[in-house]
Amino acid sequence: MSGSFDERAATWDDDPGKLERAREIADAVRASVPLEPSMRVLEYGAGTGLLTQHLVDQVGPVTLTDPSQGMREVLAAKCADGVFPDARVVDLDLARDPVPTERFDLVLSMMVLHHIVDLPPVLVGFAQLLEPGGWLAIADLEREDGSFHDEGFEGHHGIDRDDLAGWLADAGFVSVGFRDAGATIKHDRPYPLFLATAQRGSDS
Ligand SMILES: C[S@@+](CC[C@H](N)C(=O)[O-])C[C@H]1O[C@@H](n2cnc3c(N)ncnc32)[C@H](O)[C@@H]1O
């Protein structure tokens, strides 16, 4: 899978739809999470970092992770250009790698979950990455009819909100909530997006 993202990384930001999608989701994050300048933030599956780009001025140190080398190269170039002051770029796939020992106050992700076949262990990893009370904010496709991706796609046809709420509770998250987060246009039609937010409970 990283192969196709490696190839698309250099031109990812040329698509105005992706830029607009990131802007709308950043607005939804701001409306749901009390951002603070001290917050240590990890964006998971950051791609070219479009979501964090909108939030970087309102939070503390940023860690941008992605398993695609091509995406990490774009992130490293943006760091060198000063787009992300005080950021680190890390190769991380929680379906493959151990959970890092560092802890964060906010974990973000945008359009990543539907690519992960076995989601519950990755959500447990998100909980482990967070301090107790830390925030999770994940945006993804609402359940769709399977037309978003090409035939042969092995991930999810969007994510069902009730399924996700159950997996988050099982992973030790509390105060799970959802809000609409705009839509992404593909094949000349809108595919609605949601933002799910939750906080790591104290005992997970
Ligand atoms: C649709 S792109 C979204 C990129 C970026 N978040 C955005 O919305 O512009 C999906 C991203 O998830 C990454 N990804 C795929 N599988 C992953 C996994 N198991 N763990 C972490 N990231 C993954 C890909 O490398 C890719 O950068």
Whole-structure pTM value: 0.97
Q: In what order do the strands lie in the sheet with 173-186?
A: 87-90, 62-65, 41-44, 104-110, 130-141, 189-200, 173-186
In angstroms, the CA 30 to CA 179 distance is: 12
Convert the pLDDT of each residue in 93-151 to its tens digit.
999 999 999 999 999 999 999 999 999 999 999 999 999 999 999 999 999 999 999 88
CATH value at residue 146:
3.40.50.150
In which element (H, E) is residue 163 found?
Answer: helix 161-170
Tell which atom from ligand 1 comes closest to the C-alpha of 43: 6
Convert the pLDDT of each residue in 67-94 to its tens digit.
999 999 999 999 999 999 989 999 999 9
Which amino acid is present at 18? Answer: K
For residue 142, the enclosing domain spans 2-200
In which element (H, E) is residue 88 found?
Answer: strand 87-90
**How many other CB atoms sit within 10 Å of the CB of residue 2?**
16
Nearest alpha-carbon partner for 51 in 37, 70, 65: 65
Tell which atom from ligand 1 comes closest to the C-alpha of 93: 20
Per the structure, the count of domains in the chain is: 1
| 185 ligand 1 Cβ < 6 A | no
* Contact by Cβ (8 Å): 193, 125: no
| 91 ligand 1 Cβ < 6 A | no
